[in-house]
Amino acid sequence: MRLMQLGLACLLVLVLAVLPALAASTATPGTPAKTAKKPAAAGKAPAAEKVLPPFDPLSPSPAAPSTPAAPFAPSTPAVPGTPVAPGAEKAALPPVAGPTTPPALPPATPPAEPATPAAKVFPYTGTVTGDTVYVRSGSGQYYYPLMTANKDTRVTVDSEAGGWLGIKPPPGVFGLMRKGDLTMGQGAAATVSASSARVYASSTTAKRQWCVMATLKQGDTVKVLGTAEGDLVRVQPPEGTHVYVVDQYVAASAAGTGADSAIAKMEIEPPKVDPFIEEFKKTDKDLDGELAKPIADRQFADVATKFKEIAEKADKAYVKTAAAKRLAYIAGLKEQQAEVLRVMAIGQDLDQRLAELKSQQAAKQAETVRERKEAARTDFLATGMVARMESLEDVDYPIKFKLVDQNNRPLVVLKSSTADLSKYVGKVVGVRGTKTYLKDWRIYLISVDEIEAIE
């Protein structure tokens, strides 16, 4: 429809441009040209008097109409064979408003095809275009920021995927490793002594440190930068590790040659999609290990601390919920353990009380025996101090000892075939045995069966 309107408009302009020339060519010779332009009577003016001057867009025009011409109505086409005035074939449409406006003339030289952007060669140098851009520990919004990069900061880009750029860790970013996984060497060098060791991404301003930026194998070396909290040390990020920025905030400032893309020969493990899931599974196994122990030996402090950390730091709702349920389950286990330990303590108290009663009974029995022995002292046949018989010291005679009182007066004489009376000389003793009167000596003789020192 638009092409039809355009064609009719061009035909009308051509007819209007040719009519004055045709009229001039048919006029009587010698007739002034102004008679051809004499105004017609009112009501009989030809359509040619209302036409704008011919317009050629390829040649300069002295004056362009300030108001666009109204759309042209279709007109009767010119009669074939009618002469055309010179230059009339160059007539073009004036600007027409609305949908009948003709398209612009094509340029002299067609535009060149847009160049296909060349594939990026890694690594390359990039420049930060944002005012304050987060440098994160992983390629996702839920990874914690390590630092911020200001505008015009230059970074080395090693990879690009999913709208994120992997860049070499800038100054201020370091790794954290456990001391127990390392063996210190000369200077700041250290060697991984564990079968595998994780390197956690951190920085001087990072508030979290759960993202694993690399996993090293036994024998790999790292450079220790200093100590950190707890049993952690700061290490220089291993070769091949990356931190991440959003790609729209970095512009390539220098194409890379790939010369710096070599990665050290060590097993680098990229960050997990969600590291809290792996930590949750590991902690769950630790909990199963505790439940396998006797109830009195179970220790829930470490697993409870880990589940609490997961519940606080995880970004996914289902991970938070699962960790919270584990914490509630552990709380129930602790209550059960406390009750069992209380009952066991009662049994232990009973055992201790029983042992105390047995000890008291034994002590009481010993006291009774002692008291009986004390009471048995009154059963002695005689008591006194043992002394030698002076007149018989050099005589081989069975009677060589006697009992004397405090005034050294003899009480009885003693002999014994079972006891060594010489050990009791000068001691106060009590004796039991058989008592016989010696008429010749006018004194009693005791054949000693038992002798006991009483002082």
Q: Domain locations in the chain?
A: 2-100, 124-254, 274-376, 380-453
How many residues are there in the chain?
455
Q: Is 416 strand, coil or helix?
A: coil
Residue 84, H or E segment: none
Q: How far is it, in rounded angstroms, from Cα 371 to Cα 267?
A: 84
- Return d(Cα 38, Cα 374) in angstroms, integer: 174
Strand pairing class (232-235; 173-178): antiparallel
The CA-atom distances, in angstroms, between 430 and each of 86, 252, 401, 417 are 174, 116, 14, 17
- The string over 423-434, giving b where at least 16 C-beta atoms fall within 10 Å of a residue's C-beta and e elsewhere, is ebeeeebbbbbe
Q: Which residues contact 120 (CB under 8 A, 6 or more apart)?
A: 160, 252, 255, 256
Both structure tokens of 190: 């250290």
* pLDDT value, residue 444: 93
pLDDT given at position 445 = 93
Distance CA 442, CA 436 (A): 11
Q: How far apart are CA 438 and CA 445, in angstroms?
A: 7
| Beta-ladder partners of 434 | 447
Distances (CA, A) of 432 to 376, 377, 382, 449: 11, 10, 7, 6
Written as one string, the DSSP assignment of 210-279 is --EEEEEETT-EEEEEEE-STTEEEEPPPTT--EEEEGGGEEEEE---STT----SS---PPPS-HHHHH
Token digits for 395?
């005589």
Q: Is residue 411 within 8 Å of residue 380, measured between CB atoms?
A: no
Cis peptide bond N-terminal to 123, omega within 30 = yes
- Which two three-digit tokens encode residue 161? 């995927």
Consecutive sets of 10 residues in the chain, 455 residues long: mean pLDDT of each?
Answer: 70 68 50 44 43 42 44 44 45 46 51 56 91 92 91 92 93 92 87 92 88 92 88 91 93 56 37 75 93 91 93 86 94 92 87 88 84 68 90 69 91 91 92 91 91 84
pLDDT one-digit tens code per residue, 378-402: 578 899 999 998 775 555 677 889 9
For tokens 């304050």, name the residue: 132
d(CA 360, CA 366): 10
CA–CA distance from 159 to each of 124, 167, 407, 413 (Å)? 9, 7, 118, 118
> In this structure, which amino acid lies at residue 341?
L
Contacts of 439 (CB under 8 A, 6+ apart): none
H or E element: which one contains 5? helix 2-26
- Say which residues have a Cβ less than 8 Å from residue 198's Cβ, sequence separation at least 6: 177, 212, 214, 215, 216
Q: Which two tokens stand for residue 54?
A: 């011919």
Q: What is the pLDDT of residue 177?
A: 93
Look up residue 248 and give its amino acid.
Answer: Q
The pLDDT assigned to 78 comes to 44
Q: Which of 216, 166, 158 is nearest to 192 (CA)?
A: 216
